[in-house]
Copies of this chain bind each other. A is one copy, B any other.
Amino acid sequence: MQIALKERDFMKTNLGRSNMNTINIRRHPDSGYDAWLAFAGIDKDGTIYSHTLPESIYTFGRDPLLDTARDELKCALKLLTGKMPKVVDSPAKSGSILLEILAGPVRTDSFVPEEEWNKLGSEGYIIKYCNTASGKNLLITAKTGAGVLYGVYALLRLVQCGTLTQDIYLLENPVTGLRMLNHWDNLDGKIERGYAGSSIFFEDNKFIMDLSRIRDYARLMASIGLNAVVMNNVNVHKTETNLITSAFLPKVAKVAEIFRKYGIKTFLSINYCSTMEIGKLDTADPLDEGVKSWWANKAKEIFETIPDFGGFLVKADSEFRPGPFTYGRNHAEGANMLAAALEPFGGLVIWRCFVYNCTQDWRDRVTDRANAAYDNFMPLDGLFADNVLLQIKSGPMDFQVREPVSPLLGGLKKTNFVLEFQITQEYTGQQRHLCYLAPLWKDVFDFDTYRDGAGSTIASLLSGAAASGRLSGITAVANIGNDMNWTGHDLAQANFYCYGRLAWNPGLSSEEIAKEWVIQTFGCNPHLLDTITGMLLESHHIYESYTSPLGIGWMVNPNQHYGPNVDGYEYSAWGTYHRADHEGLGVDRTVAAGTGYAGRYNKPVSELYENPKTCPEELLLFFHRVLYKQKLKSGKTLIQHIYDSHFEGTGKAEQLVIKWSGMKDLLPPQTFERVLNRLAEQAKHSKEWCDVVNSYFYRKSGIPDNKGRQIY
């Protein structure tokens, strides 16, 4: 913590002077601060771009974001090539980059035929070479400044990854219009589930206003296509309730101004009871006229201060937060009241579906938390206003290392939704363990819900909504804090990065994203590229191996959620049980004999899960109770699988240290040490996980390891 503070002081000194009106980007070598925007050049001989990149920039169109795009490109090219490109008034002969916002399909110096034009969304871009009157130039075309900005970052990515060929043709649109980050930052500076220092926004119940840090954060976001941010925690406590009052709104506006320059809209989490806590009303009933008009006035006040304000994120009737249930109203009534207040200004209501009974009796085997979001929201499908989006966690429980995809995502047909991930590694090693999350998220995007027949993957539901003009979105809980390297673990930056990339294009593979990230962050030495990419790609599987087995989840220390505690949530009120006894473990969630959760899916998925023979094995214990002696597909018994996977996971965690150590000469020394320390902790802690889990099940089952390894 002390180190983090010192780092922040350093930041203030070194970045505080930068002029916010122009982009003044400097490198902070070996600190992790530059992340994937170091533009450091890729091989060990220095930059290799100077002779291949255009040396002038020409812009066409007017939009503040076009200026941002131009300035970002200028600075990046300067860093990459050592030469500051010229900004020219007209396209130079050959060798210019043209950044253009087009109002229609055709223009003199480039050519965008109608078919192509029609494919371009409002945030999309085209990158191609074109022969203009003045020669062959590189063209980034878009309908908006935002599109050009995303095109610029794409171009820089192509350049660094060496994939900018002479016949390049790239037309990209994001899969969905809302690509968001949720900050669980509190005004006291603490971040709920934050593992990389304190908030970059707040401290001691005030805004920090370290605008250069926020700008650099906005750059990171925009560079991977993110366009929305919620600054404060979904759990809106007393002080944070005041964010929508004049006490804080001017500061929110200042921060929003920074984000706006990078095409990012600012949202706030609100307290559903604001009418009572900061208004003078004695109710928060959504059907009360006083409540409605209070929120209408409040919306007006906010939009007068921040004209492009995004809207509200709301956690209501969830984990002791207030909500419409208090007044006998349902979630649609609650959300629509707020939506009506925001609608005149184009604001959105994002309403979380993380609603379940968190005071469950552990003895109760009928109630199933996995059913909760589905059962709470499915009956309301079609009842929500057009500017409401339901924010649905990717899984039915809570961001475990392995969960099925939430059936609510494939259930709702007439309701806008936002898919929610968690980048911050609450249950996946808290940025002390390496756990690259792209493979997990890919599984979600690729999951076929069969909502509209085969092929109704989550990704296609998102793109389908976009195509039909419906609102949709993707969000994730951010993993950054004021640690100098943003994410605590340097390699956890890959999660921030891959989240943005997938939120733009879920079709990318985990591997190609990892490679992009490694090259931009560490350079493209082939050994380093292969090794780090390999480490990232196997990391989720490794983490899963030595933690809770086969989709059952939890088994962590309560509250903090770090470290093994097999019974930690077994006799608690949180609805999270494994039901292990001396014969077996797992939760029967079948329709036939269990909680019925499997039946919440569309066919044939429901049938797949219902049957232990067809249920994907990595989710076996989530859906079925299995005896220790029962054989898995591998031919191993369940208990032997538990032993083996834990020993193997630990062994692989030790290998990560060795792999990293082998790159000492290829990495900056402090970066090398920082990551080495984390990997060493992971290796040690994976042993603790392995020993606790194996000992627990050995003591319970009495069945020895058939390889005779040490179990306690």
**Given A565-B571, A567-B566, A571-B565, do A582 and B695 touch, yes or no (CB 8 Å)?**
no
Instruction: Tell whether A206 is near chain B: CB-to-CB under 8 Å.
Output: no
Within the assembled complex, what's the spacing in Å between the Cα atoms of A701 and B699? Answer: 10
Within the assembled complex, what's the spacing in Å between the Cα atoms of A582 and B363? Answer: 21
Q: Which residues of the partner chain B approach A567 to less than 8 Å between Cβ atoms? A: 565-567, 696
Q: Which residues of the partner chain B approach A701 to less than 8 Å between Cβ atoms? A: 582
Q: Are B363 and A580 in contact (CB under 8 A)?
A: no
Q: Are B700 and A571 in contact (CB under 8 A)?
A: no
1/0 contact string of A547-568 vs chain B (CB within 8 Å): 0000000000000000011110
Report A66-102 residues with CB < 8 Å from chain B CB: none
Copies in the complex: 2
Point out the residue from B566, B581, B702, B712 that lies within 8 Å of A363, measured CB to CB.
B712
Q: Are B582 and A571 in contact (CB under 8 A)?
A: no
1/0 contact string of A692-712 vs chain B (CB within 8 Å): 100110111110000000001
Q: Which residues of the partner chain B approach A581 to less than 8 Å between Cβ atoms? A: 698-700, 702
Q: Which residues of the partner chain B approach A699 to less than 8 Å between Cβ atoms? A: 580-582, 700
Instruction: Tell whether A583 is near chain B: CB-to-CB under 8 Å.
Output: yes
Instruction: Tell whether A185 is near chain B: CB-to-CB under 8 Å.
Output: no
Q: Which residues of the partner chain B approach A420 to less than 8 Å between Cβ atoms? A: none
Instruction: Tell whether A610 is near chain B: CB-to-CB under 8 Å.
Output: no
Q: Are A583 and B702 in contact (CB under 8 A)?
A: yes
Instruction: Tell whether A691 is near chain B: CB-to-CB under 8 Å.
Output: yes
Q: Are A700 and B582 in contact (CB under 8 A)?
A: yes
Q: Which residues of the partner chain B approach A566 to less than 8 Å between Cβ atoms? A: 567
Q: Which residue of B lies closest to A583 (CB)?
A: B702
Q: Which residues of the partner chain B approach A363 to less than 8 Å between Cβ atoms? A: 691, 712
Within the assembled complex, what's the spacing in Å between the Cα atoms of A363 and B696? Answer: 12
* Minimum C-beta distance from A705 to chain B (A): 14
Of A566, A571, A580, A700, most buried by chain B (CB within 10 Å of CB) is A571
1/0 contact string of A660-702 vs chain B (CB within 8 Å): 0000000000000000000000000000000110011011111
Report A359-386 residues with CB < 8 Å from chain B CB: 362-363
Within the assembled complex, what's the spacing in Å between the Cα atoms of A672 and B23? Answer: 72
Q: Are A571 and B702 in contact (CB under 8 A)?
A: no
* Minimum C-beta distance from A89 to chain B (A): 64
Q: Which residues of the partner chain B approach A582 to less than 8 Å between Cβ atoms? A: 582, 699-702
Within the assembled complex, what's the spacing in Å between the Cα atoms of A692 and B692? Answer: 20
Report A552-604 residues with CB < 8 Å from chain B CB: 564-567, 571, 580-583
* Minimum C-beta distance from A211 to chain B (A): 34
Q: Which residues of the partner chain B approach A565 to less than 8 Å between Cβ atoms? A: 567, 571
25 A-B pairs in the complex with CB atoms less than 8 angstroms apart:
A362-B712, A363-B691, A363-B712, A564-B571, A565-B567, A565-B571, A566-B567, A567-B567, A567-B696, A571-B692, A571-B695, A571-B696, A580-B699, A581-B698, A581-B699, A581-B700, A581-B702, A582-B582, A582-B699, A582-B700, A582-B701, A582-B702, A583-B702, A699-B700, A700-B700
A interface vs B, CB < 8 Å?
362-363, 564-567, 571, 580-583, 691-692, 695-696, 698-702, 712
The list of the 7 closest CB pairs from A to B, nearest first, reads A581-B699, A582-B702, A363-B712, A571-B692, A567-B567, A582-B582, A700-B700
